Structure 1
């Protein structure tokens, strides 16, 4: 397919000196060779006499791989140069032979020399030892835009160009002095119209019969198009095609040169910049507007830089780098960062769209001897991450201690996928206890990471990282399947316990459209009764999520719990329209009851057996945890505190808030679980306020699966709830 496309490009743009069959065979062979040796492809084109520049342009135009294109061009150039050299050598020898023969047989040689000289495809000029041009062929005259007669009025030094290599004229002096026989180099000439042409120039010495220098003969081949193509390819390899800024490769190369050429006191600085909210602009206004914004941002960044020693480049997407060579101290970097933030706050007019954008910048300034290019860019990247996490629209300077902690977080995040494969994660289970009679009604699955170096880590150390990196989906799926499998085992081993398992779900998991189907597959594989599964979601996850997946889960008998209720929306009226069954009261509300006094007299049903308060109550048979039916607002076991108690002037605000939440939750058919119950006064007060279930260190700390199993094994489960064997201690 590539060969056919190449053939169309060639035959459309030029005459090809091959018949169709030969051309097809050649292009098929070269297309097969291209992935392995693109340089050889360029050489093969010259060998096939396909030396028209449009041949090279045709393959360059259809190649997406710029490196391969550059290699083809390089091979082409080398082969063409070798062919030209061979032709020049042949012509040179012919000229020399003709000139020598002219001394022996002038008439016979002049006609031969004139034909070679005048008809040569390369420019040829002859000059005397004092630099006077005495003869040029038409090709040389045409190349420089003169007539042959005009050029014979010039001297060799008149053809000097500012770009001539510094040692070129020294080599010329050695040539006319007879110290060398030939000089070859790339040289630029001014044309008569002021333009510039680049040539591959060879100047050779012609000696007389006695060996004394007599003339110099220069042969020039036009290489302007080749050099322009080379420059264009080099520019594409080192510059961002959209903004024209230096790209990552060029910035890295410039940074390497700064370190290689730096003196002992040299310093270097980097501002690593990322646009805030750029994805939103792309998603809402379209990628064309996003591209226009990047171009506009690039212009403003260039305006902020001092060309002498500050370079702005685009390294990827909406990330830019400002590289400062030998700054006068950290102040120059912070001033640059501040000027960039100020420049970007001005609105952008992108066609008919007017928009604003901010940026986050990580600023690093260091002595060159104290760091390396890789360490400098890593520090800038970590510092940029801090600027993002601290609220965006700001710059943050490098802090070694802080970035060491950030690097540790990065390392932890990077290790999570392999840790999941190595089964370094495990689950512990914290009991949930009925506040009415001390019965064990369920457990909450809590994930731990047994890190090989850091020891056991709690979820606060890695769950946010899992959310940021996307590992949370795989980890959450593993947690759910592990917990369901364990709960199914307990259900088979202790069917009278009716023990439910609660599993926390993150926002990312809840937003997955396949969540209901994934949960269904896990239930099917583990064999767990859906009524024994409780999914705990945060308020924000429930409020921001489409309720359809939650309703699909609820219809299967799975219960939905709102975790940490009271820290987010706390909208009970809205919850009434959602398939929610349980509210888990946030710890701060429960903590406010730490010093609360229990009511003077509590109904007998509200207390566990005298010999076994909640902290020491063993589990007993119970219906599924926190079932709305089991805690009906019509007659909850411990809600019937006296009117005098409810109106007591000593009741705290936290008590009143808790009572209000519990009463309203019961009205709309939700049960309430209190988290972080740590003292008996808290448990007593929560029971008096009508809270259904408690969870916390007062009852039990998180336990290993075998510990929960042993607890269930030691517990007597009556045929109907209401009495408990109080011989076991949950704590």
Structure 2
């Protein structure tokens, strides 16, 4: 029984153990389950942390600004790549590095750690950024400037708050700003010191800024001109000169423009200026302001106007010349009412040649200036007065009552000429012959030349009917209007009949004032018109054969004069033009005359003008050489003027030169003329040439030229050209000659046949 009970009770004990084991197993499973869940949560948290850290790193690396996290102990807890690059450190080296170990600068001095902490704003939240200097990459002196901003995070780390510092490298911006400031300073410095005027002008064409040169040009100051409307400075007649171009510039049709206009200075004077205008635009293309360069062109303008005036006006009297006269006359004739409003007066002085011959060209010029004043006064603004040559003047009259105006002007001219001209100690009264022609179908059939020809014909009628009077053109005068053509047709017979004669002007040795020779000057002893000067007929000779015939005829007259002169050493120079040379006929006539009259070759001198030898050909040179080899001296006239005189002296067989009277006229008062005369004389003597000065009218000129080495001279001071009979009556004493073998002081004689020229 007891054994059964023992057996029976034994399973209960086993059940209890089993339950206990099951309980322990469940408890173990529970804890395992909880541990697995915790690990899973941790893994998820770690993964999330890694993900967030990766995002944070991506944000830091992609941010434009650098980020620095500093602990409460002033150590770097985190630094971004951008911040490491800015501070020139590596991330690994920087983490844990005390902030004081960073090599920072402020105001070009090493920053104290406390100051560094303060500079970074550690422990503070900044309301505005700070500027800190960090070392550059180009040496110890290189400093880059960064902008930092700090913010305190209270629960940043376990050990307390942290300071998050963001930083941005502003070196590029500062360098750009400095470059911009430097560029602006350079522009302003260049503008201030520019030799030409410069201005910045707003879109309302108002001066924003000007430089000193512009202010001086305007006769004002820089301060006074700021804010002034640019147009307020403009001349009233030029207010709109740039308006259209400014609009085109504003609209983008052109990038700049240039114009010339007038401005009125503060003192009331007018200046001309050239404007170069450019438009400065914003980056988007919108207009901002104008940049204007202003160059004073007053001198250039005056010079060009002076040149234009000289081209269209007579230099002696200031009156219009022939070119301007023809332009004016043609323009007024093209007007619809020209036949009732236009007329011409031709004016020619009476006896002017005699005045020139007696008193010289300087006095003659003074007389012409006086006449010009009389004509201006008589015209009184009712027309254009012109000098067309010599003592010939023309007035183009344009008036509503032209017929009346023509006669009033003509009467005023005669009245004005009654006032005498003071010539040295003499009172000279001038007279003029006038011809009037009204514009009508008859006189304007050929335009302006036809009307002038009609007035000229009326003037010649006035001369032929008593002079010092006025004649009005009528068709019957057409036959006399061709006077020049008639003279040209008469020249051949005049040469054959001996009507062209020579007058002789003496040439003296300046040191002794003794006559050594003459220049032969041709005149026409016309049976009806009287004695005509060369200007009245020589320009009419267009036929070369006629020109050669004239030259050869005058050779015989000069040779005959020398044969009958009282001195065997007297010489005569004959003016010869290029069209008389080239076929050896002239040279043959000269050599024939020398042999026929038994003359020394040196006594007959050929005198050439430079103008006639602008382009000498080989035939002309050959003929000149032929004469020179025969002993005939060759003189170069008008020395110092014309084209390439030195080439003539080199290429042509020249024995002597004649100084042009234009150089003599101004000496000794004119320093430039004096220097030129002295230099030309020295050049001629250096080349071994005889030296003659023409146009001597005063004793001072003669003495100066003699001192300068000019050996011979001629001019009205020593006598005017006279016919042979007048010379024999005065019986001059010939005590020296151009071919005297004795060289003078400062002379370099040229040997020809053992004699000197």
Task: Please state which band the TM-score falls in when normalised by the shorter chain.
Answer: 0.3 to 0.5
Q: Which has the larger radius of gyration?
A: 2
Higher relative contact order (CA 8 A, sep 6+): 1
Task: Report the TM-score when normalising by structure 2.
Answer: 0.42
More strand by share: 2
Task: Report the TM-score when normalising by structure 1.
Answer: 0.43
